[in-house]
Amino acid sequence: MQRQHIEVLFGGVLLLVVAMGISRFAFTPILPFMRIEEGLSFEKGGYLASSNYIGYFAGALGAGFIYRNKKNFLIITVILNVISIFIMGLTHSFLLWLLLRFIAGATSGFIFVLTSSIIMDYLASHSKTRYSGFLFSGIGIGIAISGLLVPFIEGRFGWEGSWLGLGILSALFLIMTIVFWRSISIQNGEKVEKSNDTKIFKGFMPWLIIAYGLEGLGYIITGTFLVDIIYNIESLRSFASFSWVIAGIAAAPAAPLWMLLISRFTTVKVLSIAYILQVIGILLPVFAQTSWSVLLSAFLFGFTFVGIVSLSTAYARELFPKQSGVVVSALTTSYALGQIIGPILASSVESYFNSFKAPLSFAGSIVTVALAILLIGKRYSDRKELAKDIEVFHHSS
């Protein structure tokens, strides 16, 4: 691969490190320290998480309408995102935290959709689509960075220092991306005509969108509270921060590995394996509260959620190659909607049953339903397509 292609791809990876790994998911390892030092309840932690996901929903939805000057718009949203990370460490106001997590979420939604669209279109135009999986490794790298740095910084500068340190690092990654992207021009997207727009919501795509939304609802419960749950089990407290590092390490190579599998098996088959492994990972701490079970749970969480994101996004683009921005936005919006509902339901279930096992059991069942919808939808749409082909064949003959 040429140096320019590597720089463009690496710039995209760094933006996902900032927007997803740091801005969105650094909250997970920082939350236990904020809860202790600021007296935050599990419920208030859920509200902060949901504020972020409401923002993500708005950003992902809005990104589908950006067709021109994608690169400039993207850079502006990353600047706002970095500012929101930094200010988190400068205030102790819960209301301001809610606003900042919303801004971080909204900008993350824009960044994820626009970066995915820009990089996948760029790679496709240079016949390098097979490298698209590497883009999503940015999510895992960011999670691993936040998992490693948060305990280290927090021990010296408190939870406030964690946000400030990660904000400085994010600013550095943004500057690197601007340098890498200085000489590339991004093609304007094609504005979707109404007739084409409705095609997106026919065939298998609606099933994929619904399954992906339920996946967002189920996985985010583990994604938000995993470290906090482990931290509150006295015998496993020392593994809490380390579990998030494991999740990041598993997530970093996940996308390229999952993408490699679709050269040998169908995308839906590979997605099904990812869903099954994720359910096992979510439910492991329910049945066993040991060091190996929580670390394996964290590993499976990181390995599967990034795999599902990369596979679903790439498959949607494959189905609608000229409308990557719109289909990625539709998928991400559904995912984001699930993520808004997830932490609120998890908090309610946890307070009702007064056990961390209840929200994890709920999350596992939701992801199982998502898998069922994916498989039923594929079978139904394939049969419909076959019937249509037979009808066309009879008419033509």
Q: Residue type for 21, please?
A: G
* Tens digit of each residue's pLDDT, the chain (397 residues): 688 889 999 999 999 999 988 998 888 889 889 988 888 887 788 789 889 988 988 998 888 787 777 888 999 999 999 999 999 999 999 999 999 999 999 999 999 989 988 898 888 888 887 888 889 889 889 988 988 899 889 989 999 999 999 999 999 999 999 999 887 766 555 544 444 555 666 788 899 999 999 999 998 888 777 777 788 778 888 888 788 889 889 988 898 899 889 888 888 999 999 999 999 999 998 888 888 888 999 999 999 998 999 899 888 878 887 777 788 888 988 998 888 888 778 878 878 888 878 888 999 999 999 999 999 999 998 888 777 767 666 666 5
| Domain boundaries, position 363 | 3-396
Long-range contacts of 262-268 (CB under 8 A, 24+ apart): 262/311, 262/314, 267/311, 267/314, 267/315, 267/318, 268/374, 268/375, 268/378
CATH of the domain at 147: 1.20.1250.20
C-alpha distances (whole Å) from 43 to each of 34, 85, 215, 228, 338 are: 13, 22, 22, 12, 18
Q: What was the pLDDT predicted at 194? A: 44
Q: What was the pLDDT predicted at 114? A: 92
Q: What was the pLDDT predicted at 394? A: 62
Q: What was the pLDDT predicted at 202? A: 73
Count of residues in the chain: 397
SS (H, E, C) 368-391: HHHHHHHHHHHHHHHHHHHHHHHH
Return the number of other C-beta atoms located less than 10 Å from residue 7's C-beta. Answer: 18
Q: What was the pLDDT predicted at 391? A: 67
Structure tokens that stand for 200 in this block: 């997106």
Q: What was the pLDDT predicted at 195? A: 42
- Number of domains the chain contains: 1
